[in-house]
DNA sequence: TAGAATTCGGCATAAACACGCAAAAACCGG
DNA sequence: CCGGTTTTTGCGTGTTTATGCCGAATTCTA
């Protein structure tokens, strides 16, 4: 049996059962435990599974819900938001996705620049109350609390009738091969539609989310235009993304 | 069962039930209490739960100012909001209009009552984030900042397709002859449509707004059902309103 | 304050792991 | 085809980790 074949089987098994044991796999695949361990370690390094003592678990990047994250101030997000400002020009129509990163961007927007900001996140709308020259369009629908955003057909319909110069999103999980993914099905759908309507999509997020996979794919990596991330991010992942046409902006 | 898997289960259980006992977990997971304790201690060290004698609790930095805000700010609005609760029954679909009074009502809603709340005000939507049994529908559209609400054809259309058991509104101006009126044209229109779709309309406001007139009429007084106001309000105005079929609730 | 439940620390055991080594297989350039 | 290189794999050794058990210390509760 080929190594790659074996690793594929391991991943399938993992997906099927939700967990795999090194010892079981060794017996089942007819190789030594060392070999299985080496396979598991490699798959873990490339972020295709979560290696744990005794076996492996599916990757579930447990992003804490937005509602729980609101309070903490985060200098990294602040910096990425400031870097994102460079893409914005007066008169543009922006979409700000839900997420803390985008909230920082909303707060960082210059108050004297005329802009139209579209968002599904009520919190972001509230942040922009004192930006007198920013027109805010709030996309309504069912309020999906874990992600603090509106989802559903109402919001989707409204987005399909719009067009954005720029679309900004926080980074949940981005993997060179497995694309940009989100934690919840509901938000993944809205995000996908949003990206379709935008001239340019800018993603912001730190190294911890790079090379990871979450539950629902939004779009493949090549559909993204710019990634603003911290300079300490894994070079090989950045390179792989750059090859797919993503402009990397380190801060 | 893998260690990491077990710890994930513990966290899930915790989120679900709000507390876990070491002894129960040991029996349930088929491991010794020592093992469970070690798991709990580790999860506690990494700040994923709050370790307590006998088990663990979720660590929720739960909105500490919640109670304070209700007590201190505006006792009048608080009282009227509490009086309004009497009209609400489990399972109802409510419309909460924009305005501080309605925000108080949102905060005062019981957390364990299943409800659907529809609102045009993003701030109210955010207040309801921690009410797990309350489904929130946010009506989108252009965000009209002076009134902190969404207006426009989008919101109006959505409202026309809905039906509310109860509609709550703060009181801008109410005059027995000249009706219920609002400051801005945009909001008056939305409010009128809203009242049309509601079985019952409840208005909350203190004496200062009674007997006054603002710029844009919403509906005549007879279209209102309940007025919750303070007991010191002008008796002649209240009487005139009562004659038009408005139930007066003094607090 | 006494008794019960819980926790802590040390210890033993078995499983899982890392590391180096060597054999076998696959690969590669000429 | 052939010599050299790389990759893969399995094995042995020593280390680390996970777990359960036990007694002592601590904390809760009535």
Domains recognised in chain A with CATH numbers: 3-57 (1.10.10.10), 66-250 (3.40.50.1360)
Question: Using 50, 70 and 90 to split pLDDT, how confident is the model at B149?
Answer: confident
pLDDT the model gives residue B127: 84
- Contact list in B for residue A137 (CB cut-off 8 A) is 140-143
What pLDDT is recorded for position B66? 34
Determine the average pLDDT of the residues in B184-188: 87
A-chain residues near B141 (CB < 8 A)? 137-138, 140
Is the CB atom of residue B161 positioned under 7 angstroms from any atom of strand D?
no
Shortest Cα–Cα distance, A58 to chain B (Å):
10
Cβ–Cβ of A140/B142 closer than 8 Å? no
Query: Is B138 close to A158, i.e. CB distance below 8 A?
Result: no
Give the tens place of pLDDT for each residue, A122-141.
Answer: 989 988 888 889 999 999 88
Q: What is the pLDDT of residue B34?
A: 93
The pLDDT confidence band at residue A211, using thresholds 50, 70 and 90, is confident
CA separation for the pair B170, B205 (Å, rounded): 6
pLDDT at B65 over 50: no
In this complex, which of A57, A137, A140 lies closest to B5 when CB atoms are compared?
A57
The nucleotide minimizing the C1' distance to residue A52's CA is: C16
Q: B203, B169 in Cβ contact below 8 A?
A: yes
Q: Which residues touch strand C (CB under 7 A)?
A: A 21-23, 33-34, 37, 41, 52-55; B 21-23, 33-34, 37, 41, 52-55
- Are the C-beta atoms of B11 and A60 separated by less than 8 Å? no
């Amino acid at each position: 049996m080929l190594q790659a074949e074996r690793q594929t089987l391991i991943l399938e098994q993992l997906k099927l059962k939700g967990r795999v044991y090194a010892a079981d796999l060794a017996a089942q695949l007819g190789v030594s435990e060392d070999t299985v361990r080496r396979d598991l370690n490699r798959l873990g390094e490339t972020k295709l599974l979560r290696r744990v003592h005794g076996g492996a678990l599916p990757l579930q990047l447990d992003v804490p819900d937005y509602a729980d994250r609101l309070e903490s101030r985060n200098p990294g997000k602040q910096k990425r938001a400031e870097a994102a400002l460079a893409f914005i020009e007066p008169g543009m129509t922006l979409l700000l996705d839900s997420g803390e990163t985008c909230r920082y961007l909303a707060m960082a927007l210059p108050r004297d620049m005329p802009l139209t900001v579209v968002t599904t996140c009520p919190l972001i709308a509230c942040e922009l109350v004192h930006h007198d020259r920013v027109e805010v369009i709030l996309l309504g629908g069912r309020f999906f609390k874990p992600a603090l955003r509106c989802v559903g057909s109402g919001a989707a319909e409204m987005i399909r009738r719009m067009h954005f110069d720029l679309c900004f999103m926080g980074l949940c999980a981005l993997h060179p091969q497995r694309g940009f993914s989100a934690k919840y099905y509901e938000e993944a759908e809205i995000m996908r539609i949003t990206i379709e309507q935008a001239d340019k999509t800018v993603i912001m997020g730190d190294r911890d989310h790079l090379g990871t996979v979450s539950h629902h794919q939004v779009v493949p990596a090549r559909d993204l235009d710019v990634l603003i991330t911290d300079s300490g991010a894994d070079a090989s992942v950045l390179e792989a993304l750059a090859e797919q046409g993503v402009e990397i902006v380190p801060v």
